[in-house]
Chain A
């Protein structure tokens, strides 16, 4: 492996040629398999599955009840507002002779 000191390229090429034939030690296969067994495998589901999971049977009834309550509350609030405003509107309409 003695090469000319003035030619680093040839020395490098010789080193690389020898280094390529180097084989690594055997790895610890059982330890690797043990680590693999402990690793959690998380499979990502497609969007259809995730979307339908939102409407799973266990959630449908509570979701419908909650939505119905929310709608009833909102509608009642709007009706109450209209009930408060309507007499004033009628009074205003009468006072102005129906021009509004």
Chain B
């Protein structure tokens, strides 16, 4: 088990970082992914590449995280901004490129205003560079539905960008 975790934790963390904005959330999601992996190990078929299977678990974990965030935001008594999960200044990782981190945070804040499925789709498509066919296969969607969903999401995103620029 430790060998599996050691071998794949970097890849899983890199993928899930596209979904979150704080280190605490990243740790939680990585842990949740590996716990799901442990629970699902008896159901894993050897003919399926392990990395693909684990990636599917990780993307589903990320999508569930988006869904939880949306539900939490909807049922909050006080209206909460979509970027309320923005990292506190002291929590920002000092390493890395600050401009890239700022751009990533801005992209994530914009995507946070979309529905969980649209957010997942655009996160994987834009930030991870996945093709729409790959995303469709990952979540069991048809390619046509995925293209339509991406087109609608891009429309909403464009409207959000225009609103942000005008305000």
Residues on A lying within 8 angstroms of B by beta carbon are 1, 5, 8-9, 11-12, 15-16, 18-29, 31-33, 35-37, 39, 41-44
Residues on B lying within 8 angstroms of A by beta carbon are 1-2, 5-6, 9, 13-14, 16-17, 23, 26-27, 30-31, 34-35, 38-39, 41-43, 93, 95-97, 99-101, 103-104, 106-108, 126-127, 129, 157-158, 161-162, 165-166
Number of A-B contacts (CB under 8 A): 106
Q: Is there contact, CB below 8 Å, between A5 and B103?
A: no
Alpha-carbon distance A8/B103, docked complex (angstroms): 15
Which residues of chain B come closer than 8 Å to A11, judged between CB atoms?
A: 161, 165
Q: Is there contact, CB below 8 Å, between B42 and A43?
A: yes
Q: Is there contact, CB below 8 Å, between A22 and B100?
A: yes
Q: Is there contact, CB below 8 Å, between B38 and A39?
A: yes
Alpha-carbon distance A33/B1, docked complex (angstroms): 9
Q: Is there contact, CB below 8 Å, between A8 and B161?
A: yes
Main secondary structure of the interface of B (DSSP, over half): helix
Q: Is there contact, CB below 8 Å, between A41 and B100?
A: no
CB distance from B37 to the nearest CB of A (A): 9
For A16, give its contact among B1, B30, B96, B126 (CB under 8 Å).
B126
Q: Is there contact, CB below 8 Å, between A19 and B103?
A: yes
Q: Which 3 A-B pairs have the closest CB atoms?
A: A24-B17, A8-B161, A18-B103
User: Closest residue to A8 on the B side, CB-wise?
Assistant: B161
For B107, give its contact among A5, A16, A39 (CB under 8 Å).
A16
Given A25-B23, A25-B26, A33-B2: A16 and B157 interface contact (C-beta under 8 Å): no
For B127, give its contact among A16, A29, A35, A39 (CB under 8 Å).
A16
